[in-house]
Chain A
Amino acid sequence: MSLPEVHLAGGTCAEALRLVPVALAMREQGLVAPVLLAGGPDPTAVAKTYIACGLAADVTLPASADLGAALRRYDQLWAARTPAAVVVRGDHLGAALAAYWRRVPVMHMDAGRRSGSLVADDADGDRRLLAQVATVHLAAAPLAAMNLLDERVIAGDVLLTGGTAVEAARLLAERARQPIEPRTKRVEAARLLAERTGRPIEPRANRVIVAGVSAEFEEPVRAAMLTVAANQPDLDVFGGLRMPYPERSRLVAAADVVLTDDVDLAEEALAAGRAVLVPGDGGGLTEAIHAGSARQVSAEAGEIVAAMAELLDSRVRRDSMGVAGTPYGDGRAAARIAQATAALLGHGQFPDPMPARPQAGVHH
């Protein structure tokens, strides 16, 4: 008997990265047949992300620039090949609406994430609409689950699974080709110094900052990065948002500090145990700021320079943030999501939710 098909709809590279561990977990559990879809405005980039993680897209859809086009692409696919369930992540509204229209159950990963902004936010609007059509809401953190309950989503439909960025980071770390190489001049200098002193000297790679912020903070962050780079010659600053995987993951894993207000990039940095600075109000990263693994900084160039210098100068400070870990997953989220999907389709039980994180100073 053939297994029920579950379509995992990736509309962006960040979504694709987080869907791969779920597909692998589904294969391992053997209760449903995962089908990876590459869609969205740049399906080729999505397909390449799957490949970077060691899987290939089963179906690559034509590019869809807007919601209407995305709906049409998924609807055409599902009219001919209707899945038993669809897994979407984040704010991939087109796939979720198309599935809802075809009465296909929707598993929504990273459900309940909100910007926390009081100003109307289009992405939040899409996420709220998606919550209305989702069958099971798979929340990455307790606050996300609370957001859903505040929006009158039925508690029994919400499952705290964690996010799959931790598994994705692990997967990419296993497949990473090479660490950051020291620059040629440094290698040459180390060789000369070794010759002169008569003892071996390892050339050091430059320290790395990965920065990726929304347009709102671009100006102060650019000014701050110019100052930081001018003061510290052994520093490379990379723009992280438009970089393809797996290069982005490799740099994030090697970074001393990641400066971002982008929730996806921050989540990947937290999963890799990096210190994260968040310019602005930190609305979308409240849990990480509370946990101490991310630090909020005022969005002024001077403040950013000071906070960055403090972290770069102190490994203890950076490591203390890194060991706080990510509040958005415990490395078992993909298995929970796969199990929940199978349970929805009548195979086995729903999993237990992600256990609560121990709080500092509280003994259990």
Chain B
Amino acid sequence: MDVIGFWTRSWTSDDSTAVRKLLAPDVEVEWNLDAPVDDEELIQVQHRIAAFAETVTVAGETLAEDGATLVYDLVAPFGTARMVEFLAVVDGRITEVRQVYDVTLIDRYFPGLYEN
């Protein structure tokens, strides 16, 4: 199964059910947003991005045997912010997600993204 492709398609099309299925139960999540993160918070933020963005495109992809690095362009109504995502995959499930956002542009173009 193309886990990486399925993951990308699932979250960018706001399919939270599929996203949940791909994440391993003990998935480790890290990001550079100014808020604590766990798998549920990750899914919420990805849902908000998918819902608010006009489009989310994969600008770059580097695949390895045990994971991938993805560069996304998050296109909002007033501008585009970039996010880099690192994924580790074991037995068809994602065991590690590390996201690096351009926080300056996220705050500008996706206001309130990670505020509860």
Contacts and interface: CB of A to CB of B under 8 A. Distances in A.
A68 B34 contact: no
A129 B69 contact: no
Given A71-B62, A152-B103, A129 B82 contact: yes
A206 interface: no
Max chain B CB contacts within 10 Å: which of A66, A71, A151? A71
Nearest to A126: B82
Interface in B63-106: 64, 69, 71, 79-80, 82, 84, 86, 98, 100-105
B62 A132 contact: no
A128 B104 contact: yes
A75 to B, nearest CB: 7
A66 B101 CA distance: 19
A67 interface: yes
A66 B86 CA distance: 17
Contact of B104 (A68, A101, A133, A151): A151
A125 B82 contact: yes
Contacts of A128: 102-105
A125 B71 CA distance: 12
B5 interface: no
Max chain B CB contacts within 10 Å: which of A69, A75, A100, A101? A101
B61 to A, nearest CB: 6
A278 interface: no
Nearest to A69: B62
A75 B86 CA distance: 12
Contacts of B98: 100-101
A67 B69 CA distance: 10
B80 A129 contact: no
Interface residues of A, number: 18
A151 B103 contact: yes
B99 to A, nearest CB: 10
A168 interface: no
A69 B63 CA distance: 10
B14 to A, nearest CB: 24
B96 to A, nearest CB: 10
A151 to B, nearest CB: 5
Contact of B60 (A68, A75, A101, A151): A68
A101 B86 CA distance: 7
B71 A67 contact: yes
Given A67-B60, A152-B34, A97 B103 contact: no
A58 B94 CA distance: 36
Given A68-B61, A71-B69, A120-B80, 7 more contacts: A71-B60, A75-B69, A125-B82, A125-B102, A128-B104, A128-B105, A129-B102
Interface of A: 66-69, 71-72, 75, 97, 100-101, 120, 125, 128-129, 132-133, 151-152
15 contacts: A66-B60, A67-B60, A68-B62, A68-B71, A71-B69, A75-B62, A75-B64, A75-B69, A100-B98, A101-B69, A120-B80, A125-B105, A129-B82, A132-B102, A152-B103
